[in-house]
Structure 1
Amino acid sequence: MEGDSVSLNSGLTEMKDDDVIQWRFGDENTVIAEINVTVDRITVYDDVLDGRFRDRLKLDNQTGSLTITNTRAEHEGYYDLQINSEIRVSFRLIVIDSVLKFVSVNEGDSVSLNSDLTEMKDDDVIQWKFGDENTLIAEINVTADRITVYDDVLDGRFRDRLKLDNQTGSLTITNTTTEHAGVYQLMYLGRLSSKVFRVSVYDSVHCYGPTEAVMRLVLSALVGVATVIIVVYEIISRAE
């Protein structure tokens, strides 16, 4: 999540006396951190890439693992760990907007989750995932010119209910029920970014959205006041 810290584990329990460990970032393989065990030197390169990693990198002097603090979208991308010039492990980091988008809908209505794209790039792969297990429910692969909805996952709860916009990748869920409530994650694989929505589905008979609930509460209060006034009026009239 944006603003959180993330640790990239080297997989080492300790380093050898002659190890030179480098962490590299992005398509240009820019060195952002280094440990040279032979000369007992640890270096973080704060000023590379316009200073995007300044005061954010921490190296474990025992294992060489890298921690990135206070992450932002500009830290998304590929990280390679090289030991003595050989790549040992690669990571792909995706930073999710920490502000969830809350969406509410009445049961039986449709709800649209907006990708905020005006159009997709030729190499985009867009995936929609649902729930704690991040189950894939819909996908657009622009390169292969393929749109797929996975109707049969999760016991078929989304069968005949999903529609993908082939221009923007936005997702619409039709004829919603309470079992469609939950967290939806949109992954832009070609862009290394993501969005998260929390959808609430209100029972159209028994439950109401926040605005309608407030209106009903106000109306109930007004009815109560009116009833008191009538009762007081009746008492006064009889007393007279």
Structure 2
Amino acid sequence: MSRTLVFLCLGLWCLVGVETDYVKPAEAMEGDSVTLHTGVTQIHSDDLVLWTFGPNDTHIAKINRGHGEIVHDKADGRFRDRLQLDNQTGSLTITNTSTRHSGPYKVDIITGNKVSVKTFSVTVYASLSIPVITSYSPSNPSSSETPSSSRCVLLCSVMNVTHVTLSWYRETSLLSSISIPELNTTISLHLEVEYEDNNTYSCVLNNPISHQARHLNISDFCHATACVNYAHGFIEDVIRLVISVLVGVATVAVLIYDIRSRRV
């Protein structure tokens, strides 16, 4: 009977006054609680409060003081044991939120021949992990590089993220960044630095309401041994070249001596 009353009241919107209000979007991290306020100070005994969720206006909660308070969970179980209704104001609280609770919400407050409608947009962000940083040395440095200018590549990575931005900073200066709007994916961002760089670098993962950062010194990730190994290899190449030249000169000298000896 109460359901029939709800649909009957909604069907009579064209015959009564309707006031629609769009509320500022609400944002939260996973595990937080979000309260959607009706803006009403007191629900009267003959008022009907109807809460819906999603693009299909799935009925999730209602208050009809004349018939008691009923909380539904028809949205595939995602709201089970997570909804709380304020009996006096009709405000709705979602507790222990997850990303599945992101989306549009609407409350219809029917008072006599007046219908007040408020719409809400809720975004719940997943918890951010601390970025992981790895380093490696370029395998084939260019011929123009000297051992003192060898470079190290830092790679900052995060897994399974959505609605985030990954950035490299030197001190407080932004060097590069990449954003992931929708897809739940893994992203990486590289940075090339010199071994002898004494600046402090940070890899920062953030969304609109939270961030995680990994700070580092170049010496902690880019060890001088790589530079030494490169220098050692360079010296070995020079030694091989010198030996080859000396062997060639000695060979020519022996041939000349042999030819002169035969002539004598």
Calculate the TM-score normalised by the size of structure 2: 0.49
SS in 2 for 1:158: strand
Query: Which residue does 2:189 correspond to in 1?
Result: 172
What is the CA-CA distance between 1:44 and the residue it aligns to? 0.3
Give the helix-richer structure, 1 or 2: 2
CA separation of 1:5 and 1:164: change in aligned 2, threshold 3 A: closer
1:69 matched to 2:86? The reply is no
CA separation of 1:109 and 1:165: change in aligned 2, threshold 3 A: farther
1:92 matched to 2:109? The reply is no
CA separation of 1:182 and 1:75: change in aligned 2, threshold 3 A: same
SS in 1 for 2:97: coil
SS in 2 for 1:91: strand
* Separation in 1, partners of 2:214, 2:72: 45
CA separation of 1:105 and 1:66: change in aligned 2, threshold 3 A: same
Query: Which residue does 2:58 correspond to in 1?
Result: 30
1:8 matched to 2:36? The reply is yes
What is the CA-CA distance between 1:16 and the residue it aligns to? 3.5
CA separation of 1:13 and 1:28: change in aligned 2, threshold 3 A: same
Query: Which residue does 1:18 correspond to in 2?
Result: 46
What is the CA-CA distance between 1:183 and the residue it aligns to? 4.5
* Separation in 2, partners of 1:12, 1:169: 44
1:199 matched to 2:213? The reply is yes
* Separation in 1, partners of 2:98, 2:39: 25
Query: Which residue does 1:80 correspond to in 2?
Result: 106
Give the strand-richer structure, 1 or 2: 2
Amino acid at match of 1:79: Y
CA separation of 1:59 and 1:178: change in aligned 2, threshold 3 A: farther
* Separation in 2, partners of 1:105, 1:16: 58
Residue by residue over 1:115-153, the C-alpha shift from the partner in whole angstroms, topping out at 9 and shown as x without a partner, is 648xxxxxxxx85458xxxxxx8xxxxxxxxxxxxxxxx
Question: Tell me, which stretches of 5 or more residues in structure 1 are unaligned?
Answer: 118-125, 131-136, 138-155, 188-193, 213-240
Amino acid at match of 1:201: H
CA separation of 1:181 and 1:172: change in aligned 2, threshold 3 A: closer
* Separation in 1, partners of 2:134, 2:188: 17
Correspondent of 1:102 among 111, 118, 130:
130
* Matched-pair contact (CA < 8 Å) for 2:43–2:90: yes
1:59 matched to 2:85? The reply is yes
CA separation of 1:44 and 1:178: change in aligned 2, threshold 3 A: farther
What is the CA-CA distance between 1:110 and the residue it aligns to? 3.9
What is the CA-CA distance between 1:111 and the residue it aligns to? 3.9
Query: Which residue does 1:142 correspond to in 2?
Result: none
Aligned length: 166
Identity level (%) = 32
Where do residues 105-184 of structure 1 align in structure 2 (5 Å cutoff)?
105=133, 109-114=153-158, 116=160, 128-129=164-165, 157-159=173-175, 161-163=176-178, 170=187, 172=189, 174=191, 178=200, 180-184=202-206
CA RMSD of aligned residues (A): 4.1
CA separation of 1:127 and 1:90: change in aligned 2, threshold 3 A: same
SS in 2 for 1:74: helix
Residue by residue over 1:61-120, the C-alpha shift from the partner in whole angstroms, topping out at 9 and shown as x without a partner, is 01111111222332221111111284532222222223x311244898544444648xxx
* Separation in 2, partners of 1:52, 1:174: 41
Residue by residue over 1:199-228, the C-alpha shift from the partner in whole angstroms, topping out at 9 and shown as x without a partner, is 2121224xx47xx9xxxxxxxxxxxxxxxx
